[in-house]
Amino acid sequence: MLEQNINDAFLNARKQMRKACDLYDGCRLDTNKYELISHPRRIIEVNIPVRMDNGSIRTFIGFRSQHNDARGPFKWGIRFHQDVNKSEVKALSMWMSIKCAVIDIPLWGWKWWVIVNPKELSDGELERLSRGYVRELYKYIGPETDVPAPDVNTNPKVMGWMMDEYSMLVWKYSPGSFTWKPLSSGWSAWRWEATAQGWVYVLQKILELKDIELKGKKVAIQWAGNAGLTMAKLLVDLWVHIVWISDSRWGIYNENGINIEKISELKAARKSVIEYDDAEKLAEKWVLEVKCDILIPAALENQITWDNVLNIQAKIILELANGPITPEADEILHKNFTIVIPDILANAGGVMVSYFEQVQNNMNFYWEEEEIDQKLHKKISWAAEKVFHTSLEYSSTLRSAAYIVAMTRIFDAMRDRGEI
């Protein structure tokens, strides 16, 4: 029996997988399969010495979790953040494996993390840290082995440094070794927009299959960061009303809709949403519990828990954050007929277009934006429809259905390679 700790991201991820396994005959009748995929294959911890601008040496700790590579190279992001634990790193690598399998691309999940607050570093120190991290791990990465991308507090500039360092270490220009690079280094066109567009395509497809009209819906967004604001702008273009939005401390409400362009200007100036004039102010924690049609958690893990789930009024939840709902709360939402579109499906557009970038790098031939959008729309809508029909077949949540779809493909790959 799994330990009970709602703050442990890895245990929560295993609970989600266990629940899906109990529904799915291919796993329920063979418990060895669950054991094979419920833990990462490899976790590496490295120490990265960096020469600081004042001449001193400072050592940073980095983690890397590889979940499984039965279906192809490892894939996901490098996060620079001061708050980290191995549980979260392992959970994120598992969730990425499921995302890749549910949209049926030949990649597997992993996670990199360096314990650092990058705001405390100069550009020179950040570059030396980025290159030092690659030097410690370059033997384990590459376009056919392990393909990193940016995550929290990393960006195309950091990927450009890392790709350059890797290329020097292997004596070969290797643009396919990292994705989300600067455009001049092989970044796929339309990369930023595609991630957000994937969220919209998933939402549109699930609501279409549920026979629910998106136009005119009132939406609450937790966290006016890059993800939340980008999603808000796309939804406004679809005649959706953003009536609630928050940052780390405050939330604002206007039943007639909030001007997202003004919110973007405030955040670009590093100001709080509370400085928006035409809205009611409230504490950030209450945004999850406001009356709305669609709730979009776009912040951190474990936001909807046993403590507040009964106060959730939205009947549709789209997860942009990773793991914002605990397994216990997820079960209650399902019993209350709340539609939860899970992170492992909703967020998959980002890794899909990152995969497109890797393919283009390896071919040395690049697609136009329209072609990338068409490919994304086709594959992400197909994946959403597959998950939806699987949920009907098993009378399950969309989350469990996504796990079942993914596990079917994972077990097929492991079987065909002789691993099970």
pLDDT tens digits for range 312-322 = 999 999 999 88
Distance CA 28, CA 59 (A): 45
376 close to 188: Cβ distance less than 8 angstroms: no
Residue 241 lies in a domain: yes
Per residue in 42-61, pLDDT (tens digit) is: 888 899 999 999 999 999 99
Average pLDDT of span 390-398: 96
**Shared-domain flag, residues 114 and 229:** no
| Backbone phi, psi, residue 252, to 5° | -130, 155
List % helix, strand, coil for the chain (3-state, nearest 5).
Answer: 50, 15, 30
Residue 408 lies in a domain: no
**Shared-domain flag, residues 144 and 244:** no
How many helices (H) and strands (E) the chain has is answered by 14, 12
**Shared-domain flag, residues 163 and 217:** no
Residue 398 lies in a domain: no
**Shared-domain flag, residues 91 and 196:** no
pTM listed for this prediction: 0.86
Q: Is the confidence at residue 273, as pLDDT, over 50? A: yes
Q: Is the confidence at residue 1, as pLDDT, over 50? A: no
**Shared-domain flag, residues 252 and 155:** no
**Shared-domain flag, residues 94 and 207:** no
Q: Is the confidence at residue 225, as pLDDT, over 60? A: yes
* Mean per-residue pLDDT of the chain: 88
Q: Domain count for the chain, please give it.
A: 2
| Backbone phi, psi, residue 85, to 5° | -145, 160
Residue 231 lies in a domain: yes
Distance CA 320, CA 248 (A): 16
| Residue 293 confidence (pLDDT) | 98
Please, which residues have CB within 8 angstroms of residue 95's CB and are 6 or more apart in sequence?
Answer: 13, 109, 322, 323, 343, 344
Per residue in 76-95, pLDDT (tens digit) is: 678 898 887 788 888 888 89
Last residue within a domain, chosen from 145, 175, 205 = 175
Q: Which of 111, 181, 205, 379 is catalytic?
A: 111
| Residue 191 confidence (pLDDT) | 61
Residue 113 lies in a domain: yes
380 close to 198: Cβ distance less than 8 angstroms: yes
| Backbone phi, psi, residue 67, to 5° | -80, -55
**Shared-domain flag, residues 196 and 339:** yes
**Shared-domain flag, residues 83 and 114:** yes
| Backbone phi, psi, residue 189, to 5° | -60, 145
Last residue within a domain, chosen from 175, 200, 227 = 175
Query: End-to-end alpha-carbon separation of the chain, Å?
Result: 23
| Residue 189 confidence (pLDDT) | 56
Last residue within a domain, chosen from 295, 324, 346 = 346
Q: Is 111 a catalytic residue?
A: yes
**Shared-domain flag, residues 116 and 235:** no
- The beta strands (E) that lie in 168-236 are given as 218-222
245 close to 298: Cβ distance less than 8 angstroms: no
- What CATH number does the domain containing 338 carry? 3.40.50.720
Domain hosting residue 302, numbered range = 192-346
Give the tokens for residue 346.
């909703």
Residue 351 lies in a domain: no
Residue the block writes with tokens 């403590």 = 307
**Shared-domain flag, residues 217 and 303:** yes
Residue 409 lies in a domain: no
Per residue in 116-132, pLDDT (tens digit) is: 999 899 999 999 999 99
- The beta strands (E) that lie in 116-168 are given as 146-150
**Shared-domain flag, residues 211 and 326:** yes
Q: Which residue has the higher pLDDT, 393 or 181?
A: 393
Q: Is the confidence at residue 368, as pLDDT, over 80? A: yes
Look at residues 181, 33, 40, 38 and name the one whose alpha carbon lies nearest to residue 110.
Answer: 40
**Shared-domain flag, residues 207 and 241:** yes
Per residue in 21-43, pLDDT (tens digit) is: 999 877 776 778 888 888 888 88
Report the percent of the chain where pLDDT is more than 90: 53
Q: Is the confidence at residue 212, as pLDDT, over 80? A: yes
Residue 21 lies in a domain: no
Give the tokens for residue 267.
């955040």
Q: Is the confidence at residue 4, as pLDDT, over 60? A: no
Q: Is the confidence at residue 133, as pLDDT, over 80? A: yes
| Residue 2 confidence (pLDDT) | 36
Picking from 12-26, 66-80, 363-377, which range would have the lowest pLDDT averaged per residue?
A: 66-80
- What CATH number does the domain containing 145 carry? 3.40.50.10860
Please, which residues have CB within 8 angstroms of residue 229's CB and are 6 or more apart in sequence?
Answer: 260, 263, 264, 267
